[in-house]
Structure 1
Amino acid sequence: MQLGDLTTPALIVDAAALESNLAAMAARWPGETLRPHVKAHKTTALAARQAAHGATGFTCATIREVEGMAAAGLGADLLLANEVLDTRRLGRLDARVTVAVDSPETIEAAAAGGVREVLVDVNVGMPRCGCRPDDAGALADRARAAGLTVRGVMGYEGHLQAWPDAEERATLTKTAMELLLAAHRDVGGDVVSGGGTGTSACNPYVTEMQAGSYALMDSAYTAAGVGYVQALHVLGTVVHVSAARPDMPAYAVADVGLKALGMDHGNPTIPGAQVWFCSDEHVTFAADDPVRVGDRVLVIPAHVDPTVAYHDRMHVVRDEEVLETWPVDLRGW
């Protein structure tokens, strides 16, 4: 199959760029020190590639991701790095599953659902989940009293991942991780889990790195200069071209819109063009060079995770050849 055979919009992954990213992260965080986050790609075939580069454990965002990874034979050490209250499906899996807890309620839910191991989730500056660092020790004691094994702590400095200045990012990451390490002294255990693609080069404080976006990348991370190359594009077809008028410059429209792109980080990018806006099924742009109806364009999403979740398959390509087609089989809940 060739690129021209694909129905658009189509999620495509450059094989060489993907391999470069996987190898670079594996060199920086080898073996069990890397716990790739599958929420970024939701694809067990890609997770298998990460395992081939040495990863032994994985991070998940949903119960569906945990189930799918276990079914694919990748369940040796799965961390559900989000709080959940209905854990019944997790306790039945033939896999090692660790769950993040940050409250008495999440501890009780883990124990009731048959989960055996937990990490205490600590808020290190991003106002989402996670307990106060001072409360981590008491929660660990409560978890052990409920019969759970507390493996350690986790904390996500998500607010720093795309921080534009690398030196400031490193300084702020150190401050965030000091909170996590203080909590770890109270909690105990072998694991200090955290980080992401944006801080993977400046967070030596964790024992395992939860990076995910590095494999595919997006324009937001590229702008932050995190050191990985763009592997993911949404392939589109130009469906309309408008010539310049006295009241309007020339523009073109491709069939990649809001339903094919994660837009929470802003407009996508089209190399050699200025994107004007996206609507449900379309992206309107002004190209540097003339384009024609039927031309193919490569659209770079601003946020990889939700973009992938809109698609049911991704195509691994080299030049114009489609090498493999992988189902995005961890979608849903």
Structure 2
Amino acid sequence: MNADRVADLPTPALVVDRAALDHNIEVMAAALPGDRLRPHVKAHKCTGLARRQAAAGHRGFTCATIRECEGMAAAGLGADLLLANEVLDAGRIGALVRAGARVTLAVDSAETIEAAVRGGVREVVVDVNVGLPRCGCRPADAGSLAELARARGLSVRGVMGYEGHVMALGDAAERARRCRLSMELLLAAAADVGGELISAGGTGTHDCNTWATEIQAGSYALMDAQYNRQGLPFRQAAHVLATVVSSAARWSVADAGLKAFGMDHGDPELPGARVRLCSDEHTTFAPPRRVGERVRLVPAHIDPTVAYHERIYLCDGDKVVDCWPVDLRGW
């Protein structure tokens, strides 16, 4: 879709304010310069935006899927990729490595180590469970897994652990305290594993996680309603643009619903209004506005929201200055 003005965009549309995006990238680059930040592309799935992060000095990136690794490498951004997830078929990663990309794979078991070997992966990090009930080995098992990986011919770059269970805590002091507890577990594992990397963190702990050698923050670039409540120094850059298609005495309905937002963190927000409900293609809010009015809804969770959209419209006021495909979607 070619459009010069925001007013001409078909809705729903994912729009990003250029000034807010640039502010967020600059603020994070000042807080975590260069290799201190390994931006997580799962938050935006867009090589156009990743190039802006690389221009701010961040050479390494975190990926959540093999598809993200492939897209980043194809875009010339494969100098140092970390696939921060376990896979049991690493053949596509091995192909990227043979083609010249540097891709490090997370492992947390003998099975994932063997998958890395079979796939032709050369470098791994040991993924450690630091409190989030997801992937990761027990901290006490990290050293033996590193020994197994080295015995199988892999280079072990270090450890990673994600304190995702503390990211949404509203109290900054409590967030910092629980981050420290998680990092104590990761540092103990790192002492057993060795290597140069202690990879952890996210947008919510970017300012208090001083133990990790690199932080895997991603949402900071675009932001969302949940992180806005934490008083972080980043601006809301991404909105879902919608059009009011129906209006009653006490509410209005806009043409963006469940299929335009990640809903796991709750309903989107509309400044100056109260969102009453979301259905497949609609958001109902009050007080009412006139039919035809454009509204900008704030996603509650930016990462899955972006994955619902095919493109990002970069905007400067009412002017559309660029259109980036969300080219890292899918698997």
Say whether the fold is shared (TM-score over 0.5). Answer: yes
SS in 2 for 1:258: coil
Structure 1 counterpart of 2:283, one-letter code: V
Structure 2 counterpart of 1:233, one-letter code: H
2:284 paired residue number? 284
1:25 paired residue number? 28
Q: Which deviations, in whole Å up to 9, do the C-alpha atoms of 1:8-62 show, x marking residues without a partner?
A: 0000000000000000000111111110000000000000000000001000000
Structure 2 counterpart of 1:216, one-letter code: L
Specify which of 89, 94, 102 is matched with residue 96 of structure 1: 102
- C-alpha distance in structure 1 between counterparts of 2:132 and 2:47, whole Å: 29
Q: Which deviations, in whole Å up to 9, do the C-alpha atoms of 1:204-237 show, x marking residues without a partner?
A: 1000110000000000011122221100000000
How many residues are treated as equivalent by the alignment?
A: 325
1:271 paired residue number? 271
SS in 2 for 1:224: coil
- C-alpha distance in structure 2 between counterparts of 1:309 and 1:138, whole Å: 37
Q: Which deviations, in whole Å up to 9, do the C-alpha atoms of 1:226-261 show, x marking residues without a partner?
A: 221100000000000002xxxxxx100000100000
2:294 paired residue number? 296
- C-alpha distance in structure 2 between counterparts of 1:158 and 1:50, whole Å: 22
SS in 2 for 1:119: strand
1:63 aligns with 2:69: no
- C-alpha distance in structure 1 between counterparts of 2:116 and 2:31, whole Å: 33
Structure 2 counterpart of 1:280, one-letter code: D
Structure 1 counterpart of 2:69, one-letter code: V
RMSD: 0.6
Specify which of 43, 46, 67 is matched with residue 43 of structure 1: 46
SS in 2 for 1:124: coil
1:2 paired residue number? 5
SS in 2 for 1:259: coil
Counterparts of residues 11-160 of structure 1 (less than 5 Å): 11-93=14-96, 94=99, 95-160=101-166
Structure 1 counterpart of 2:299, one-letter code: P
SS in 2 for 1:307: helix
Runs of 4+, deviation exceeding 3 Å: none
1:170 aligns with 2:176: yes
Structure 1 counterpart of 2:255, one-letter code: D
Structure 1 counterpart of 2:49, one-letter code: L
- C-alpha distance in structure 2 between counterparts of 1:253 and 1:132, whole Å: 49
Specify which of 195, 198, 205 is matched with residue 204 of structure 2: 198
Q: Which deviations, in whole Å up to 9, do the C-alpha atoms of 1:157-199 show, x marking residues without a partner?
A: 0001111100011011011000000000000000000100000
SS in 1 for 2:259: helix
1:314 paired residue number? 312
Structure 2 contact 27–233 (Cα < 8 Å) conserved: no
- C-alpha distance in structure 1 between counterparts of 2:34 and 2:274, whole Å: 41
Unaligned 5+ runs, structure 2: none
Specify which of 196, 214, 222 is matched with residue 220 of structure 2: 214
1:253 paired residue number? 253
- C-alpha distance in structure 2 between counterparts of 1:187 and 1:159, whole Å: 24
- C-alpha distance in structure 1 between counterparts of 2:201 and 2:114, whole Å: 27
1:186 paired residue number? 192
Give the CA deviation at 1:107. Answer: 0.3
SS in 1 for 2:126: strand
Structure 2 counterpart of 1:51, one-letter code: A
Q: Which deviations, in whole Å up to 9, do the C-alpha atoms of 1:85-130 show, x marking residues without a partner?
A: 1110110113000000000000000011000000000000000000
Name which of structure 1's ranges 85-94 and 47-56 shifts more when overlaid on structure 2.
Answer: 85-94
- C-alpha distance in structure 2 between counterparts of 1:139 and 1:18, whole Å: 40
Structure 1 counterpart of 2:128, one-letter code: V
Structure 1 counterpart of 2:190, one-letter code: H
Specify which of 314, 321, 324 is matched with residue 323 of structure 1: 321
1:226 aligns with 2:224: no
SS in 1 for 2:159: strand
- C-alpha distance in structure 1 between counterparts of 2:124 and 2:68, whole Å: 17
Q: Which deviations, in whole Å up to 9, do the C-alpha atoms of 1:311-333 show, x marking residues without a partner?
A: 00000001100010000000000
SS in 2 for 1:92: helix
Structure 2 counterpart of 1:255, one-letter code: D
TM-score by length of structure 2 reads 0.98
Name which of structure 1's ranges 221-230 and 234-243 shifts more when overlaid on structure 2.
Answer: 221-230
Unaligned 5+ runs, structure 1: 244-249
TM-score by length of structure 1 reads 0.97
SS in 2 for 1:269: coil
- C-alpha distance in structure 2 between counterparts of 1:130 and 1:28, whole Å: 28
SS in 1 for 2:186: helix
